[in-house]
Amino acid sequence: MTAKLASAKSLIDAANPLDPATLADLPPRERILIASRELFYQQGIHPVGVEAIAEAALTNKMTLYRHFKSKDELIVAHCTQLAAEGDAVWDRINADNPNDPEKRLTAWVNHVEDVVTNRFERGCALANAAVELQPHHPARVVIETYKARKRDQLVKLFRAAHYKKPEMTADEVFLLFEGARISIQCGGKQMALRVVKMLRDLLANAPRKTPVEKR
Amino acid sequence: MTAKLASAKSLIDAANPLDPATLADLPPRERILIASRELFYQQGIHPVGVEAIAEAALTNKMTLYRHFKSKDELIVAHCTQLAAEGDAVWDRINADNPNDPEKRLTAWVNHVEDVVTNRFERGCALANAAVELQPHHPARVVIETYKARKRDQLVKLFRAAHYKKPEMTADEVFLLFEGARISIQCGGKQMALRVVKMLRDLLANAPRKTPVEKR
DNA sequence: AGATGATGTTACCGATCGGTACCTATAGCG
DNA sequence: CGCTATAGGTACCGATCGGTAACATCATCT
């Protein structure tokens, strides 16, 4: 058990989502999506068969195909679910820090710290899916619009915080985060951890229109 | 044809590597590795069968298995080849700019510009492979040592150029590049292009031990 | 010419894949 | 009770996968 327990309030539940007790009372479609998220993330999309997903979801292949016309459609639903969860994290950051771009930014960095330290040993599930899926796969547009939305949200936040170059700063922050998550899988766990300090330095030192009072 | 022709001297040949005339006089093992590089990059590793590789290499499955004991061993050789090619690019940058860390840095950024603009629509082939392969796959260590070597080479270069924080600056540059390449596949082509300006700004503005004269 | 080793060709194996047909069991509801 | 819709179970299909056996072909070297 390397992860510190209760290190910081996390924005994502960490209980084993494949625990039978956790799944028991959920409808089949939700169980299938939970199982997909777990298996796809751990093993990738192509190596995981629909039968394995059905078993992990405590059901069978026929029920799976009653809810999803094909594996490709399941993949789209899976990516849509991941995007919705990412949006929910962002919404919660905003709701917890109403009308305060400054605190929202630091809350987002804290979330990044949580992500690269305690969770997601295989990086960003949506980026991984984009790597595995051909450019014409219908799930790709879900991923691309999600990533574009994340970047735009960061731009607006930096603009609200009166940074001089909100687009530029958002792009830097965005790319550093993406780079850190892909590097986790390329052995750069230590480097991925250093991204948190980089982000905090960047937020503190990037030029602003009006200087911010020290806290 | 969007790519500018002869935009800048590229460090990588761009001729179609699967052209029969290109392959004709090469020994089977090299043809197989060339075909693997192309097919694995365009379609990913898992979706590409050994038969398809053999056909693209103008040979057959038996000859492939005479040179590689298994598909996994071929994958390892494929990743080793990619790492060697990446090292060759770096060596050439160094050889073209002897004993001049400053010019080496700008040459490296020019290479990055070439990569994100004219080539590699599917990002870094080694990072993609890491995404597809399970953590225990023997090719993963090849990828991880390569990525660590790249980062260390950047650190040494920034140290030679008398940057105040060579590790920190190298990490930033490395993560920005990695983030840009993974973002290419997530629809962020435009953002990936902006990474060049970020890198040039970063090189120009990161603190140094001794200021550099204007050119 | 003869021998040798690498390569090309075809056919095949067992396993697994995505997807479907068919039937049973169960739960809600009148 | 009986009706209906959903879910579980089993068996199966055609296609493809990684990998192998056996044989034909070819170039090379002595």
Q: What digits encode the pLDDT tens for the residues A162-185?
A: 999 999 999 999 999 999 999 999
Of B143, B171, B185, the CB nearest to A191: B171
Q: How far apart are CA B159 and CA B156, in angstroms?
A: 5
Residue with tokens 């990002």: B123
Are A183 and B147 inside 8 Å of each other by CB? yes
- The CATH architecture that domain B76-205 belongs to is Orthogonal Bundle (1.10)
Are B123 and A131 inside 8 Å of each other by CB? yes
CA distance B125 to chain A (A): 10
What is the number of other CB atoms lying within 10 angstroms of the CB of residue B46?
Answer: 16
The pLDDT value recorded for residue B4 is 42
For B175-185, the pLDDT digits (tens) are 999 999 999 99
Pick the CATH number of B15-68 from 1.10.3720.10, 3.90.440.10, 3.30.750.24, 1.10.10.60: 1.10.10.60
Are A43 and B127 inside 8 Å of each other by CB? no
What is the number of other CB atoms lying within 10 angstroms of the CB of residue B96?
Answer: 13
* Residue B137 · residue A138 · CB < 8 Å: no
What is the pLDDT averaged over residues B12-41? 85
Q: CB closer than 7 A to strand D: which residues?
A: A 27-29, 58-63, 66-67; B 48-52, 61-62, 65, 69-72
Q: Which nucleotide is nearest to B71 (CA to C1')?
A: D18
* Residue B193 · residue A192 · CB < 8 Å: no
Task: Give nucleotides in strand C with any atom < 7 A to a protein C-beta.
Answer: 6-11, 16-22
For A15-38, the pLDDT digits (tens) are 788 777 776 778 889 999 999 999
Q: Give the amino acid at A126.
A: L
The band of A9, judged by pLDDT with boundaries at 50, 70 and 90, is: low
| A206 CB within 8 Å of a chain B CB | no
Q: Which residues of B touch A151 (CB under 8 A)?
A: 188, 191
What is the number of other CB atoms lying within 10 angstroms of the CB of residue B16?
Answer: 10
* Residue B104 · residue B97 · CB < 8 Å: yes
Q: How far apart are CA A151 and CA A167, in angstroms?
A: 9
Are A144 and B180 inside 8 Å of each other by CB? no
The band of B140, judged by pLDDT with boundaries at 50, 70 and 90, is: very high
The pLDDT value recorded for residue B7 is 46
What is the pLDDT averaged over residues B29-54? 97
Are B175 and A168 inside 8 Å of each other by CB? no
Q: Which residues of B touch A116 (CB under 8 A)?
A: none
| A164 CB within 8 Å of a chain B CB | no
In percent, the amount of chain A with pLDDT more than 70 equals: 92
User: Is domain A80-215 classified as CATH 1.10.357.10?
Assistant: yes
For A105-151, the pLDDT digits (tens) are 999 999 999 999 987 789 999 999 999 999 999 999 999 999 999 99
Residue B3 above 50 pLDDT? no
Contacts 24+ apart (CB under 8 A), B194-200: B194/A168, B194/A171, B195/A171, B195/A175, B195/B112, B195/B116, B196/B109, B196/B112, B196/B113, B196/B116, B196/B117, B197/A168, B198/A168, B198/A171, B198/A172, B198/A175, B199/B109, B199/B112, B199/B173, B200/B109
The residue extents of the domains of chain B are 15-68, 76-205
